[in-house]
Amino acid sequence: MTQTQDILVIGAGIIGISTALALQSQGRQVTVLDRKGVAGETSAGNAGAFAFPEVEPLATPGIMLKAPKWLLNPLGPLSIPPAYALKIAPWMLRFWRASWRDRYAAAVTAQVALMAHCAAALPRQIAATAGEHLMMRDGQLQLYEGARAYRAALPAWEVRRSHGIPFDLLESPGAIAEIQPGLSPRFTHAGFTPSWLNTVNPKGWTEHLAKAFTARGGQIEIGVARALEPAEHGAIVHTDTGPVTAAEVVVAAGAWSHHLARTLDEPFPLETERGYNTTLPPGAFDLRTHLTFSAHGFVASKISGGVRIGGAVELGGLDLPPNFRRSEILLDKARDFLPGLRTEGGSQWMGYRPSLPDSLPVIDRSARAASVFYAFGHGHLGLTQSAGTAELVAALVQGNPPPIPMQPFSATRF
């Protein structure tokens, strides 16, 4: 790698590549550095959904009442491995505070603004890279078992309505079957969000953006960033092959970002929502829309003609070995919920979603180094918020006024 750069983006996932493209469109010379390459981590295996209607944070009022069950059911939809319980305790205290009604309301307001911006930014990104052929516009069904579960979810739908998010509520299996046949009759109610959008393959979409970036002169390098250091005219990135100086540095390294921020004496309470899935080959099921099984914490989505069954949240850090029993549990449930599902020939995967206690990302300039910018902590919404985050980072780097209030995404809020 050249030892002097204009802009160095650390991370070649969907956030990093999108940010590199946005900065490149501003006339900047951009290099991306990643330890594995394009979509080498979480961006390769997510559900492929641009979930713009999903504005509720993970920390909802009353969620801590469920905390004891998490430890008792390590295979549940939201769990903490016992071996990680003590280590994550400080994060959980912040998560608990974020679930208070005042913080929750503020987080929803911030998320709505960010989602609206991201929903507008994505079409710009698709058009700029000729990427429409990688999109599916089939909507999403959020499914409920019985009237009681449905009624309990209605306040969340009212939050969406109050923020102008379109949806239809379905109150019979027949109405559901008109959109998605083949579901178990146990699902009696649903909410359908027609504006929901998916990519045919999240890895392929990230690679498509990376090809557009390199075709326009961008560089993608393999290497490990070890530390950051302020410099007189920029910042120094210490890599495994030596120091690199850049006029500006963007840290978009997902679940590993806080390790770099810590070298600037900026600690962030970043944890990982470890997500599991199984991708089944084409012909596994006639899936016509994205399915969300709300009470069970997982989804079914179309990926490259096949079906990806995955989701759940395991707050287990970066170092514990994967527990693929979680993938098996989700697949077993999917077999019950989709009676015609063929489950043979699948491939399992686990990824690290970078999660902050209030479910909002950090999109900001470093308080310790004026030439370093942060873009991480999107949780399970990285793909959804990638195009919009990229535009916001580009505005910050270029000194332009961002289109939305940025205080909720401040690097100093913790």
Answer whether residue 295 is part of any domain.
no
Answer whether residue 54 is part of any domain.
yes
pLDDT over 70 (residue 70):
no
pLDDT tens track for 285-319: 999 999 999 888 899 999 999 999 998 888 999 99
pLDDT over 90 (residue 79):
no
Answer left, alpha or beta for residue 352, where phi above 0 means left and psi between -120 and 50 means alpha. Answer: beta
Q: What angle do CA 20, 23, 25 make, to 5 degrees?
A: 110
Q: Give the number of other CB atoms < 10 A from CB of residue 146.
A: 13
Answer whether residue 336 is part of any domain.
no
pLDDT class of 194 with cuts at 50, 70, 90: very high
What domain range is 40 assigned to?
Answer: 1-61+99-134+198-269+357-414
pLDDT class of 408 with cuts at 50, 70, 90: very high
Answer whether residue 184 is part of any domain.
no
Average pLDDT over residues 55-68: 83
Number of domains in the chain: 1
Answer whether residue 250 is part of any domain.
yes
Which CATH number goes with the domain that contains 239? 3.50.50.60
**Residue 190: what residue type?**
A
Q: Give the number of other CB atoms < 10 A from CB of residue 202.
A: 27
Which residues in 283-295 are b (16+ Cβ under 10 Å) and which e?
ebbebebbbbbbe
pLDDT tens track for 166-176: 999 999 999 99
Q: Give the number of other CB atoms < 10 A from CB of residue 181.
A: 10
Answer whether residue 12 is part of any domain.
yes
Which of 346, 326, 329, 328 minimizes the C-alpha distance to 285? 346
Which of 353, 355, 358 minimizes the C-alpha distance to 275? 353
What's the whole-model pTM score?
A: 0.95
Alpha carbons 121 and 119: distance in angstroms, whole number: 6
| Amino acid 286: pLDDT | 97
Answer whether residue 41 is part of any domain.
yes
DSSP alpha helix (H) spans, 129-172: 147-162
